[in-house]
Structure formats: C-alpha cells, structure tokens
C-alpha cells in the first residue's frame, strides 16, 4: 500500500494536445501518447485530491514562436520546430479539454523536460510545506521521469502513478516505471485514492 507523507500534492505533467491529441504534433510524428486510459485516472485523482484538500498543479511545455527559449536556442532541423509544435498559447500547447485546469489549479509553463527547470515549482512547493509529489502525465520516461528524479534529489517523496502516466509506447512506459523504483517508486490510481480517502 502506498504511504503518503504529511503534505502531498498532485502534479499533472504535459497533458497537452501536442503530446496526446490525435491531431497534435506527436501524433503527426507517429508518436502520440495515447490518453484514453490516463485521462479518466487523472480526473479521479483530481477529485480525490480536492476531497482531501490536496493542492493540484499542472505543467505545460511550450516555447516562443521563434523557439529562442528551446534548449540551445532552437535548431531549425529539429522536427518539432519544423512542424511548429508546442508554441506557447497555441492549440498544440494547450492542456487537453477533458483536463482543463480549474482556477485554483496553477499552471506552470516550462521549456525543458523537468517541471523544476526554470520554473517556480520548487519554491512554490517549499513555501506551501509540500513534501510529497504524486506524479501523473506524459511522457513517463521523459518529462515525468526527469521531474521525479529531480524531486527525489530535492528531498521530496515522490510517487509516480503507473496507470495515470504514459509514453509513446508501452515498453518504454514500463521500463520507466521500473527505473522509478529508485526514485520514490510507483503506485496505481486506486492505491493513491484509497490513501487519500484515509487522510
């Protein structure tokens, strides 16, 4: 059973059209992060978090129209850039309709894999005394895992949700969950909801 520390928060990473929608950039590159299973689980976790008064944060990857804030200042040979994907404010960078954040669910914009890199997330979490992150979203092996690795090194307890995260393919998703045992471990949506109900 999953043990939650005294002050958890739910974090939803990059659940955006560009990664998850069948008309988004990743789908056009043949790499859609299929959201069918993940979205309902994230919404169940959001409801349980609200009921337990646990804060919820969204992360959103996005870049300037000229990609000047992409790592290294952008590269016009990068397929993502050629397709003009994830430009901040565009439909591609928007969070999926089914997960539209509520007014009290802050959205942090990021330009790198980690939710912490160049964002006020660490400061915000520490100011609010949060000591445990419940991680959901995509991609399990890229932005979610980098965020988990960083959170663990920053001394946050971390639990990555096995059925509320996903990647471009199942083997990479499972391999990431395996590696994440070293960085806080994993749990299912149901296990976390049960733990939240008991608080």
Partner 1 sequence: MLDLKPHPALLIIDMQNGFCHKEGIGIPTANARAIVPQIQRLRTACREHGIPVIYARYGMKPDYSDAGLEFEPEGGAEILALGGFVRGTWDTAILDELTPAPDEVVIDKNRSSMFFGTNLEAVLRDKGVDHVLVTGVASHVCVECTARDAWSHAFWTTTVRDATAASDVALHEASMKNMQCFGGTAGTEEVVEAVGRLKTRS
CA–CA distances in Å: residue 99 to residues 4, 51, 64, 161: 24, 17, 24, 17
Work out the angle at residue 45's Cα, subtended by the Cα atoms of residues 87 and 173, and round it to the nearest 5 degrees. 60
Ramachandran angles phi, psi of 184, nearest 5°: 100, -25
Each residue 51-70 as x (binds partner 1 by CB under 8 A) or -, in order, gives: --------------------
Our answer to whether residue 77 is catalytic in this structure is: no
Give the strand order in the sheet containing 157-166: 107-110, 56-61, 8-13, 132-138, 157-166, 186-187
Near partner 1 in 130-169, by CB under 8 A: 141-142, 145-146, 149, 152-155, 157
Percent composition of the chain: helix, strand, coil (DSSP 3-state, to 5): 40, 20, 40
Among 88, 179, 188, 194, binds partner 1 (CB under 8 A): 179
Total site size for partner 1, rule CB under 8 A: 26
Among 112, 119, 188, 191, the residue binding partner 1 under the rule CB under 8 A is: 112
Task: CB nearer to partner 1: give 40 or 74.
Answer: 74
- The nearest distance, CB 78 to partner 1, in angstroms, is 13
Question: Residue 157's closest CA among 12, 2, 29?
Answer: 2
Q: Is-catalytic flag, 14?
A: yes
Q: List residues near partner 1 by CB under 8 A.
A: 71-73, 112-114, 117, 141-142, 145-146, 149, 152-155, 157, 172, 175-176, 178-179, 181-184
Which are the catalytic amino acids? 14, 110, 143
């Amino acid at each position: 059973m999953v043990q939650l520390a005294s002050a958890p928060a739910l974090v939803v990473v990059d659940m955006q059209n560009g990664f998850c929608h069948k008309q988004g950039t990743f789908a056009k590159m043949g790499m859609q992060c299929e959201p069918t299973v993940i979205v309902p689980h994230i919404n169940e976790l959001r409801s349980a978090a609200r009921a337990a008064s646990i804060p919820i944060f969204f992360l959103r990857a996005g870049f300037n129209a000229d990609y000047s804030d992409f790592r290294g200042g952008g590269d016009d040979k990068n397929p993502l850039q050629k397709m003009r994907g994830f430009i901040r404010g565009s439909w591609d960078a928007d969070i999926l309709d089914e997960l539209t954040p509520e007014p009290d669910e802050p959205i942090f914009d990021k330009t790198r894999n980690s939710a912490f890199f160049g964002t006020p997330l660490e400061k915000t979490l520490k100011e609010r005394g949060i000591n445990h992150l419940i991680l959901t979203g995509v991609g399990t092996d890229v932005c979610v895992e980098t965020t988990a690795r960083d959170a663990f090194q920053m001394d946050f307890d971390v639990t990555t949700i096995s059925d509320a995260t996903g990647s471009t393919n199942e083997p990479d998703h499972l391999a990431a969950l395996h590696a994440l045992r070293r960085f806080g471990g994993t749990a299912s949506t149901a296990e976390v909801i049960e733990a939240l109900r008991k608080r």
